[in-house]
Amino acid sequence: MNKLFKMMLISASAAAVAACAGENEQFKYTIDQFADLKVMRYKIPGWESLSLKQKTYVYYLAEAAKYGRDITWDQYCKWNLPVRHAIEAVLNGYEGDRNCENFGLFVEYAKRVYFSNGVHHHYAEDKFVPACPKEYFASLLEAVGKSDDALLDFIYDKDAMTQRRSTSKTGDIVALSAVNFYDGVSRAEVDAFYNKMMDPKDPCPISYGLNSKVVKDAKGRVTEQLWKLDGIYGPAIAKICENLEKAAAFAENDIQARAIAILIDYYKTGDLRKWDEFNVEWVKDTLGKVDFINGFIEDYDDPLGRKATFEGMVHIKDSAASARTEKLSANAQWFEDNAPMDPRFKKTSVRGISAKVVNAVTLAGATYPATPIGINLPNADWIRKNHGSKSVTIANITHTYDYSAQEQPKSVLSEFAWDEAEIAAQKKYGDYADEVHTDLHECLGHASGQLLPGVSSTALGEYQSALEEARADLFGLYYIADPKMVELGIMPDMEAYKPHFAGYIRNGLMTQFTRVELGKQNTEAHMQNRKLIAEWCYEKGAAANVIEKRVREGKTYFVVNDFEALRGLFAELLAEIQRIKSEGDYAAGKALIETYAVDIDPVLHAEVLERYKALNLKPYGGFVNPDIEPVFAADGSISDIKVSYPDDYLAQQLAYDARYSTL
């Protein structure tokens, strides 16, 4: 539920920046690049506004999260920790030549292993091997007294545990997966084991098998071994509990303290009822400024979708962004009343949705170094239905992607924007305007409008998602250029929306197709929505030259000539799509999508892919954490918690090895 990963491939467009870019001039965001990866560091806006008590709460929660690190490594593959320990020994102790090419290749392998929490690519899940010769790697291990032939054979054999999670169509995906969730059991045995346990009539089922490894006992019977204090991963779980206990003393409210107590109880017993109980409490806490994730959360790494990987995160509410969305929500009725839509399709009473925006303070386990940009938890359906869920976007991570993109010598923006003025305007306002657009889309766009009586919410069938996204996007595009936004103090002036319009068109007509293979159609709902809007406006505004296609040195550009006219076109299309939704006009919805959203011009597509490839950007990003350390007073109490922003990726990994190794 929370795997909203942002790849750099995808960040070509969307996204967001809070303040003007100028204030970040001194801070370097991109700190390392290797293979297909880059590592960034992120700031924590709002940290100084926390009280000492809140900071102390954050500190212990962060420690609890980081002590789970070895669990994730071991879960991904049982060889991962031995491989890491060998690498660590060489990086810390090797006294030979560190400037030769082979040592450079060894370091690159080490960085990749640390990035993936193991020997498989974090995203593709395929095993990768070192580029330096095996004999050389052996000589490094020997030099630090860590010779291990079996380990070396495993590291260099690409076919040994070749996929973290097997995608085999014919083989036994349990036996073929490298993940350490099963040992000596077949898929059929695991299925039978859990089918016997589950009660299909239980309205509040526990997440069977979430926190255990399935093995065969001495008598050959299938059984599970729990990840708990006196079970597997006990030493790591003991440190997690110890720090959670310390954190609870600094909780912001009783709900948080109670939730943590239940979580500790769960770690001690392994009782999945307690895990559910914890989640019910955790969902209730919406008032605290500090929040966290800690546990076996997501089941994507298990080929059977049952076992969950350890992950941790600590985050704090983003006050500025939250204030903005609260302002929009408070004025929701004004926006509804003034929307360019037939009054019959408007809500007479509308309530905006307050999207929660947070800033990450610590990433851990499966969310470190590569992390999602949004979270939607808990995962148990019955808890979501009966008690609700928390959905947040992580602003400082998104911002860091944007800042980092600007640091690259060549960017998608510099390649596809028409001229320096367009680039400068985008750098000044564009990312901030993107963020405001997202607020409008989420807080007001989806919540606006109503169906005519008798019209089904599923009337638009397979075109529903793309049309609904287009409706919310158009609502945002129309209003971001409204004087009301300046009056509310959300947009700085009546110029700031313009680069957002230019960027939206550029993305909808060109840059988003960097993510589609040549010859394929545009199928993803959000991408269809953007193409529909941009393509429709390009066509309808052609006579008045609202959007102009220009070619320079064989390269295509789309330039907005008339921003007000473009806003008028957005209004027109919004009115039409609202009509389609309110009336359930399937045929008209289908025609819009099929005419404007699906087919990509193959010549333009090939050009876009070629220009993107030449930029040579790293497709995947990850992060180092800020260092959070207490300052102790003479009497041993904590007098302050200091944050610093390290810029050495490998050094942080080695520091974590030294400090958080438990298994």
Instruction: Tell me the closest approach of the beta carbon of residue 443 to Zn ion, in angstroms.
Output: 11
φ, ψ for residue 244, nearest 5 deg: -65, -40
Measured distance CA(405)–CA(410) in Å, rounded: 9
Measured distance CA(563)–CA(501) in Å, rounded: 7
Of the pair 87, 472, the CB lying nearest Zn ion is at: 472
Beta carbons of 421 and 385 less than 8 angstroms apart: no
Q: Which residues pair with 40 in a beta bridge?
A: 30, 623
Of the pair 397, 472, the CB lying nearest Zn ion is at: 472
**Exposure pattern of 591-624 as b/e (b: 16+ CB <10 Å)?**
ebbeebbeebeeeebebbbebbeebebbebbbbb
Instruction: Tell me the closest approach of the beta carbon of residue 487 to Zn ion, in angstroms.
Output: 25
CA distances from 347 to 335, 336, 392, 452, 584 (A): 11, 7, 26, 11, 16
φ, ψ for residue 544, nearest 5 deg: -95, 5
Of the pair 390, 498, the CB lying nearest Zn ion is at: 390
Instruction: Tell me the closest approach of the beta carbon of residue 438 to Zn ion, in angstroms.
Output: 9
Instruction: Tell me the closest approach of the beta carbon of residue 442 to Zn ion, in angstroms.
Output: 7
Report the candidate in 175, 268, 182, 262 with the shortest Cα–Cα distance to residue 225: 182
Of the pair 88, 434, the CB lying nearest Zn ion is at: 434
Beta carbons of 603 and 583 less than 8 angstroms apart: no
Instruction: Tell me the closest approach of the beta carbon of residue 405 to Zn ion, in angstroms.
Output: 23
Of the pair 302, 469, the CB lying nearest Zn ion is at: 469
Of the pair 13, 163, the CB lying nearest Zn ion is at: 13
Instruction: Tell me the closest approach of the beta carbon of residue 476 to Zn ion, in angstroms.
Output: 9
Of the pair 3, 549, the CB lying nearest Zn ion is at: 3
Q: Which residues pair with 294 in a beta bridge?
A: 312
Measured distance CA(299)–CA(285) in Å, rounded: 24
Q: Which residues pair with 312 in a beta bridge?
A: 294, 364
Of the pair 472, 505, the CB lying nearest Zn ion is at: 472
Measured distance CA(564)–CA(560) in Å, rounded: 10
C-alpha 640 chain-centroid distance: 31
Instruction: Tell me the closest approach of the beta carbon of residue 524 to Zn ion, in angstroms.
Output: 12
Of the pair 469, 585, the CB lying nearest Zn ion is at: 469
Instruction: Tell me the closest approach of the beta carbon of residue 530 to Zn ion, in angstroms.
Output: 12
Of the pair 293, 350, the CB lying nearest Zn ion is at: 350
φ, ψ for residue 638, nearest 5 deg: -80, 125
Amino acid, res. 116:
S
For CA atoms 12, 378, 445, 586, give the dihedral sign: positive
Instruction: Tell me the closest approach of the beta carbon of residue 527 to Zn ion, in angstroms.
Output: 13
Amino acid, res. 327:
K
Beta carbons of 440 and 479 less than 8 angstroms apart: yes
Q: Which residues pair with 618 in a beta bridge?
A: none
Q: Which residue has the tokens 């002590």?
A: 67
Q: What DSSP string runs through 448-463?
A: ---PPTT--TTTTGGG
Beta carbons of 102 and 130 less than 8 angstroms apart: no
Helices (H), strands (E): how many in the chain? Answer: 26, 15
Of the pair 127, 500, the CB lying nearest Zn ion is at: 500
Of the pair 224, 469, the CB lying nearest Zn ion is at: 469
Instruction: Tell me the closest approach of the beta carbon of residue 347 to Zn ion, in angstroms.
Output: 17
Strands annotated E in 511-632 = 547-552, 555-560, 620-624, 627-632
Beta carbons of 112 and 37 less than 8 angstroms apart: yes
- Residue 132 has a CB neighbour count (10 Å cut-off) of 20
Beta carbons of 184 and 200 less than 8 angstroms apart: no
Beta carbons of 480 and 441 less than 8 angstroms apart: no
Instruction: Tell me the closest approach of the beta carbon of residue 485 to Zn ion, in angstroms.
Output: 19
Kindly give the residue spans of alpha helices, DSSP state H, lying in 359-463.
381-387, 395-407, 412-416, 420-425, 431-439
Amino acid, res. 300:
Y
**Strand, helix or coil at 300?**
coil
Instruction: Tell me the closest approach of the beta carbon of residue 63 to Zn ion, in angstroms.
Output: 36
Beta carbons of 296 and 227 less than 8 angstroms apart: yes
Instruction: Tell me the closest approach of the beta carbon of residue 374 to Zn ion, in angstroms.
Output: 12
Of the pair 14, 91, the CB lying nearest Zn ion is at: 14
C-alpha 155 chain-centroid distance: 29
Of the pair 125, 468, the CB lying nearest Zn ion is at: 468
Instruction: Tell me the closest approach of the beta carbon of residue 380 to Zn ion, in angstroms.
Output: 24
Instruction: Tell me the closest approach of the beta carbon of residue 462 to Zn ion, in angstroms.
Output: 17
Is beta strand 30-34 parallel, antiparallel or unpaired with respect to 37-41? Answer: antiparallel
CB closest to Zn ion, residue no: 472
Of the pair 473, 535, the CB lying nearest Zn ion is at: 473
Q: Which residues bind Zn ion (CB under 5 A)?
A: 469, 472
Instruction: Tell me the closest approach of the beta carbon of residue 379 to Zn ion, in angstroms.
Output: 21
Of the pair 318, 469, the CB lying nearest Zn ion is at: 469
